[in-house]
Structure 1
Amino acid sequence: MMTRTLSELNAASVGEVVAALGAVFEHAPWVAEAAAAHRPFARVEDLFAAMRAAVRNASDERRLALLAGHPELAGRAARDGRMEPASVAEQASAGLDRLSEAEYARFAALNAAYREKFGLPYILCIKRHGRVSLLRNFEARLASTPEAERAAAEAEVLRIAAIRLNALVSGEGPLRTTGRISTHVLDTVSGRPAAGVEVELAEFVSSTESVVVARAVTNADGRTDAPLIGGRPVPIATYELRFSIGDHYRRAGFELPDPAFLDVVPLRFGVGDPEGHYHVPLVATPWSYQTYRGS
């Protein structure tokens, strides 16, 4: 996937714009072609606004075809690889390429029920959702009306397109499509940041099961060198940060009991805004801790 600058796209031929951006909307290169007629664009936001207008001004038949062109989540096209490369990557990011047979069967039943009721594939910007949130959304939208569901599907198509466009085009006025999870650790016994603390971030994929999505070690500032999640939407989910604070105090020379009163400290929190910044610090001693949502 090659990134192009906005200035390059402003100077390119229509064919080159379509070649670069034709897959931003699934199987709908006509959106990029229509937007290209409104160049030059000063900001990436302006380019996206032109693409959004092209969709909204299209015929009802074409808008329905745009929705119908999206693959089902964990459907047969996904399993057989008959999707746009961006869709393959998006479904893989949510683990939909690694489901058990029982999980595939659940998605197959949901997809069939949705298509029978609405005549369209269920569309969701899955980069913004964890597994639990995805299934909760799927089941909730099955109770919707055809009119409301079509509007919801078009909104999700635009969210998907915005993320894809931001990944393909650089320039002024990028779209707000990313969030992050970050942390730092403060040792209140020494009154200093806690360096060398192992940190693990896990996402709950069911009420009882979690999957580790990031590991890091705090630096001299008590922070991780990079966000634990960054540069993409933070999937809506329940997460848990796990801090190996007991090892930190052992290295500092504290004689901790065995087992230590606090060894691995878990902080469980929820993310409801995929484009938000969730800074979740740990303020600790060998016998106590606290947290808050920071900035």
Structure 2
Amino acid sequence: MTETTLAHLNSCSKADFVAALANIFEYSPWIAEAAADRRPFAGVSALFTAMTATVEGGSDKQRLALIRAHPDLADKTQRAAGLTAESHAEQNSAGLDRLSDAEYQAFEQANTAYRKKFDFPYIVCVRRHTKDSILADFEKRLPNDAKAEVAASIGEICRIAALRLDQLVKGDDPLKVHGRLSTHVLDTHGGKPAAGIEVELMELSRLGASRVVARTVTNHDGRTDMPLIGGRPVPIGRYELTFKVGAYFAARKVAMSDPPFLDEIPLRFAVYEPEGHLHVPLLVTPWSYGTYRGS
């Protein structure tokens, strides 16, 4: 996507407007065409509201065509044939381009069961999920009836569109589509923020390899210079945050056992609000530690 501004979209030709926004909704430029006639927009949120109103006001045939314009998740044949750049990036963000054999088999079975029942692809906003939570969502939605799944699919398509629009268009009143995951380490033995502690965030997986999301070091305030995850939704799923505290206390000449009682501290937690702020702090001494759910 080539970034543009709302001011440009408000003033350009209808053809240029449609060309810029044609794939905010997958292979469905008719939505951008309808929105073009409602210009000018006071903010990005107003533009998004106009586009979603077009979807909501569409015929059953149009809405079903919009659903069927989307690819199956983790489908090797469709990836080889060519996804849109947006779908490719979105699926890669959740690691769907590097599944284990067990994960690929689980996705293939889920896709097949879902298509057999509903005759359209399962759709979820993958930027809000991990592989595990997508598979869990498959199981949760499969018992639904077709009417419920059409509504759920349209809802997820609008979530996808919101993130695409946020990435593409800059202007007033941006969409509230980002979350944040942060941490803070307090040395309760020394009574001060713990600077210089190495931190690693891992996304955990039940069927495949866990993957590193972030590696960083705490600053003078015991925090990280940037959020562990920020500028996007925080994907629903299970995580492990590891703090290398042994080296920190050794560097400060704190008397410790050899080997140290606490060397690397892993904290496991889950994310369930992708657009929220989840703060996972650590309060630590050479012999004890604690945490809590902050925000």
Normalised by the length of structure 1, the TM-score is 0.96
SS of the aligned residue for 1:270 comes to strand
Cα-to-partner distance string for 1:137-196 (whole Å, 9 max, x where unaligned): 012211111111111111000000000000001111111111111111111122111110
1:158 aligns with 2:125: no
Distance 1:60 1:127, change over 3 A: same
Any runs of at least 4 consecutive aligned residues in structure 1 with deviations exceeding 6 A, and if so which?
none
C-alpha displacement of 1:60: 1.5
Letter in 1 for 2:18: V
Gaps of 5+ in 1: none
In the TM superposition, what is the alpha-carbon distance from 1:56 to its structure 2 partner?
Answer: 1.1
- 1:186 equivalent to 2:212? Answer no
Matches within 5 A, 1:48-59: 48-59=48-59
Instruction: Tell me if structure 2 keeps the 8 A contact 1:81–1:88.
Output: no
CA–CA distance in structure 2, aligned partners of residues 209 and 168 of structure 1: 32
Shift, 1:209, TM fit = 5.2
TM alignment of 1:34-53, pairs within 5 A: 34-53=34-53
| C-alpha contact 1:283 1:290 (8 A) present in aligned 2 | yes
What is aligned with 2:169?
169
Residue 250 of structure 1 corresponds to which residue in structure 2? 250
Distance 1:73 1:280, change over 3 A: same
* 8 Å CA contact retained: 2:103, 2:207: no
State which drifts further: 158-167 or 54-63: 54-63
Matches within 5 A, 1:213-252: 213-252=213-252
CA contact under 8 A between 2:185 and 2:223: conserved in structure 1?
yes
Matches within 5 A, 1:137-148: 137-148=137-148
| CA 1:197–1:81: 2 relative to 1, 3 Å | farther
Paired with 1:249 and 1:260, the residues of 2 have a C-alpha distance of 9
* CA deviation after TM superposition for structure 1 residue 113, in Å: 1.3
- In the alignment, residue 116 of structure 2 is paired with which amino acid? E
Other-structure match for 1:294: 294
Q: Which residue of 2 aligns with 1:206?
A: 206
- Distance in 2, matches of 1:294 and 1:22, equals 40
- The answer as to 2:132 corresponding to 1:132 is yes
The C-alpha deviation readout for 1:72-93, integer Å capped at 9, x for no partner, is 0011454315211000000011
User: Do the aligned partners of residues 167 and 138 (structure 1) sit closer, same or farther apart at CA in structure 2, a change above 3 Å counting?
Assistant: same
The residue that corresponds to 1:283 in the other structure is 283
Cα offset, 1:36, TM superposition: 0.9
Tell me, yes or no, if structure 1 residue 268 matches structure 2 residue 268.
yes
- How far apart are the structure 1 equivalents of 2:100 and 2:293? 35
Residue 87 of structure 1 corresponds to: 87
1:208–1:75: structure 2 CA closer, same or farther, 3 Å change rule?
A: closer
> Contact 1:180 / 1:276 at 8 angstroms: preserved in 2?
yes
- 1:7-86 maps to which residues of 2 (within 5 A)? 7-86=7-86
> Deviation of residue 278 (structure 1)?
0.7
Partners of 1:239 and 1:113 lie apart in 2 by 29
- Please tell me the residue identity of whatever aligns with 2:265: V
Say which is worse superposed, 199-208 or 47-56, in terms of deviation. Answer: 199-208
TM-score normalised by the chain length of structure 2: 0.96
| CA 101–268 in structure 1, closer or farther in 2 if over 3 Å, else same | closer
Cα deviations across residues 41-68 of structure 1 (Å, max 9, x unaligned)? 1011100000001111112111110000
**Contact kept in structure 2, 1:77 and 1:83, CA below 8 Å:** no
Deviation at 1:210, TM superposition (A): 2.8
How far has the Cα of 1:8 moved from its partner? 1.1
Determine if contact 1:194/1:218 at 8 Å carries over to the other structure: yes
